[in-house]
């Protein structure tokens, strides 16, 4: 299996990973994770997935999953450089703030975003990745 250097994982990845009933697809997601040396996640993605887990599964599951993400991924905080780049992307692409922060984080860290969110495909010079379902 070829190792990729780095990838930033979006909320869509975690929603599919935790909640998909398609076991074959989840297997593809697991293989994707194993193929990446540096797995990153934006702090806003942690916020979004924690909120989703709270709503669907409760506080204990949300805490367990967020702690697992924190241990298995490098969590990238929003700093000045990301904030400025995010504002520029948001003004050019009419996208939600969280998506613009995630896109800016990926651009600054020079890696693709693992997501099938259409907002990311609209951003010039942003690479995206996704596993196709059968």
pLDDT along the chain (134 residues), means of 10: 77 95 94 94 97 98 97 97 96 92 96 93 90 74
Nearest to 15 by CA among 55, 43, 59: 55
State the pTM of this model.
0.91
pLDDT of residue 4: 62
pLDDT per residue as tens digits for the range 60-70: 999 999 999 99
What confidence score (pLDDT) does residue 1 get? 43
The answer to whether 57 touches 14, Cβ cutoff 8 Å, is: no
Q: Domains of the chain by range and CATH? A: 4-129 (3.40.50.1010)
Q: Partners of 81 in the beta sheet?
A: none
């Amino acid at each position: 299996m070829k190792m990729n250097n780095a990838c930033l994982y979006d909320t869509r990845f975690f929603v599919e990973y935790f909640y998909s009933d398609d076991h074959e697809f989840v297997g593809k997601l697991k293989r994707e994770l194993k193929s990446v040396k540096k797995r990153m996640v934006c702090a806003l993605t942690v916020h979004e997935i924690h909120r989703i887990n709270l709503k669907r599964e409760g506080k204990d599951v949300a805490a367990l999953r967020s702690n697992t993400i924190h241990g298995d991924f490098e969590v990238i905080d929003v700093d000045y450089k990301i904030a400025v780049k995010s504002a520029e992307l948001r003004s050019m692409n009419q996208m939600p703030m969280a998506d613009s922060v995630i896109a800016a984080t990926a651009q600054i860290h020079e890696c693709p975003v693992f997501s099938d969110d259409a907002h990311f495909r609209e951003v010039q010079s942003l690479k995206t990745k996704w596993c196709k379902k059968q």
